[in-house]
Chain A
């Protein structure tokens, strides 16, 4: 018994997890409040409260909060949670510390599919667009797996990054070809820069069920993911169906990434940064990592989008660009920390 307790302590730190979740939730609530209060137009705290709980359709401030900031806030939360979870699941599933749905090229597949649909079938509904986004993500994921599986020996993290870069280049090239031929570059650029500025309620409603499904499945497989990370042999010995889990992981990753792309556009680095920070605090147990990632991912995207809105108000930065600026130093930091033997290219 003692030994098991000892193991557990090393394995994942439940106390730290509780503190992390509490602080994270508090930060998220605080950020949500700030997000609704400040912006191009500042709204008083009382108005924020009343807009949520005693809505008055004639009050302009109430409308700003309820129909402009709230859907955008929810979109940011969904994107943050989705990207962070997708990154964490991918890192666990592929044992690649640099995995991220943007860096690996999954988002570029989604974007490509969406641009194709918007150009050639302009009348499609939001729901169908989600389906196409998932299909594009699936094609990109298949390509990534093909490269990883067909490699002579196991593919290293940095080769994964390079193949992701190549896959993104491929999709982005074809996307720009379509856009340039169609003459819709300005419109598409706004979309591909990654911004939640134009989110309206229907976007949130349509994406929400997929988001919730992805979230639930991700949390359900967290235990298996932990077991799998002990190594393929160990997990098989413990009776885990590794193939099924890997498949589930893949589907979760691509649905969550596709949702994020639909809502906000391609945003890289959230899925890279958040799991690394979380692991530093709560250890390597995915049952603790995944919920923590969800919270931190939401906090991060809401916070950065808040900055994006207030820094140069009344103009704003696309949130995807700001996150990239924050994410690149982080990426470099992580890649410097990698053991050098992994880098014998």
Chain B
């Protein structure tokens, strides 16, 4: 009897359970993450400090140092993970992601321009994600312009190739900018490009959270549409979906989610690709459970990377993005070999 019930468990139901488990894991890692660093705090201490207890020193360290960093790490992961799912579903290709499509490089170029030419160390909380969004959208537009042909089917791999090429062009321009600026800005930009979680002021965190919530909900609401589009453009059209319009809407949402992550967290190149892959193995292809799962998994990855950087002596002072890249490149190569 029991086994039949198990068999009847719908993929969606299972996905919800897996998501709940992942969320639990996220909270666990979060609490352990609060514990990593020079000053030791037990999990119990962390919890009591979070709810107003604990020592003064503990409160300062937790609320001024660790908490913003960990929150940022989670949110960067959420943004990149969700954005990756949307891009992969829209293009029917599991190699699509903000990184491989060159969208995050486009966002990055605008942030670089802003830091290099206008502001010393990127201190405007609202302007940064907006500029990043603008750069990401522009870049996505260019990639579509160059990567598609009229009267031909959309070819995702061609878009990705265009994205890779455009990324290297943006990279060349930022390198040139970095050559002509002073050393402190240079160091900031270099760290930011390698994925240093720099936006750890509460001001940034709040802006980021609102942004993420807004675009996250806007994206999530279209989960069913995304599922239908993932089956096929023609199928979606047959079911009465306005494919062109939804495609545009979802692309903008995906770029927005990725852009804010890039603006505050820096470049996490493969995160938006790895998150959806792992999530798909756990919850299947339904976007309604895949999106949160992918975001949570990417969040856990960034938190773990940050914990390594904070906790291990020989990794100290290295941007967390580097750890993520070093860990995710082998996985990416493995995916390439298998597919």
Q: How far is the CB of A165 from chain B (nearest CB, A)?
A: 5
Taking chain B's interface residues, is the majority helix, strand, or loop, or is none over half, making it mixed? helix
A121: interface (CB < 8 Å): no
B156: interface (CB < 8 Å): yes
Which of A54-62, A171-179, A219-227 has 4 or more CB atoms under 8 Å from chain B?
Answer: A171-179
Which of A40-48, A81-89, A184-192, A239-247 has 4 or more CB atoms under 8 Å from chain B?
Answer: A184-192
Please determine whether B172 and A324 come into contact, CB atoms closer than 8 angstroms. Answer: yes
Residue of A nearest to B96 (CB): A345
Residue of A nearest to B92 (CB): A345
Within 8 A of B (CB), among A184-234: 185-186, 189-190, 192-193
Please determine whether A161 and B164 come into contact, CB atoms closer than 8 angstroms. Answer: yes
B166: interface (CB < 8 Å): yes
Q: A166-B333, A325-B172 are known contacts. Are A180 and B317 too (CB-CB below 8 A)?
A: yes
Residue of A nearest to B190 (CB): A185
Within 8 A of A (CB), among B148-162: 149, 152, 155-158, 160-162
* 1/0 contact string of A316-344 vs chain B (CB within 8 Å): 01101100110010011001101010011
Please determine whether B168 and A268 come into contact, CB atoms closer than 8 angstroms. Answer: yes
A317 CA to B338 CA in the complex, in Å? Answer: 41
Q: A162-B95, A176-B322 are known contacts. Are A147 and B172 too (CB-CB below 8 A)?
A: no
Please determine whether B165 and A328 come into contact, CB atoms closer than 8 angstroms. Answer: yes
Kindly list chain B residues whose C-beta atoms are within 8 Å of the C-beta of A170.
325-326, 329
B175: interface (CB < 8 Å): yes
Kindly list chain A residues whose C-beta atoms are within 8 Å of the C-beta of B171.
324
Within 8 A of A (CB), among B319-339: 319, 321-322, 325-326, 329, 332-333, 336-339
Taking chain A's interface residues, is the majority helix, strand, or loop, or is none over half, making it mixed? helix
Please determine whether B337 and A180 come into contact, CB atoms closer than 8 angstroms. Answer: no
Total interface residues on B, using CB and 8 Å?
A: 49
Q: A336-B149, A345-B156 are known contacts. Are A176 and B165 too (CB-CB below 8 A)?
A: no
Please determine whether B146 and A332 come into contact, CB atoms closer than 8 angstroms. Answer: yes
Please determine whether A180 and B336 come into contact, CB atoms closer than 8 angstroms. Answer: no
Total interface residues on A, using CB and 8 Å?
A: 48
B236: interface (CB < 8 Å): no
Residue of A nearest to B100 (CB): A162
Kindly list chain B residues whose C-beta atoms are within 8 Å of the C-beta of A173.
194, 321-322, 325-326, 329
A159: interface (CB < 8 Å): yes
B176: interface (CB < 8 Å): yes
Please determine whether A335 and B337 come into contact, CB atoms closer than 8 angstroms. Answer: no
Q: How far is the CB of A155 from chain B (nearest CB, A)?
A: 8
Please determine whether A332 and B162 come into contact, CB atoms closer than 8 angstroms. Answer: yes
Kindly list chain A residues whose C-beta atoms are within 8 Å of the C-beta of B332.
166
A3: interface (CB < 8 Å): no
A157 CA to B316 CA in the complex, in Å? Answer: 39
Kindly list chain B residues whose C-beta atoms are within 8 Å of the C-beta of A338.
158
Which of B46-54, B178-186, B284-292 has 4 or more CB atoms under 8 Å from chain A?
Answer: B178-186
B22: interface (CB < 8 Å): no
Between A and B, 16 residue pairs with Cβ closer than 8 Å are: A159-B336, A173-B321, A176-B193, A176-B194, A177-B322, A180-B194, A185-B190, A192-B175, A268-B168, A317-B176, A324-B168, A325-B172, A325-B173, A336-B158, A340-B152, A345-B93
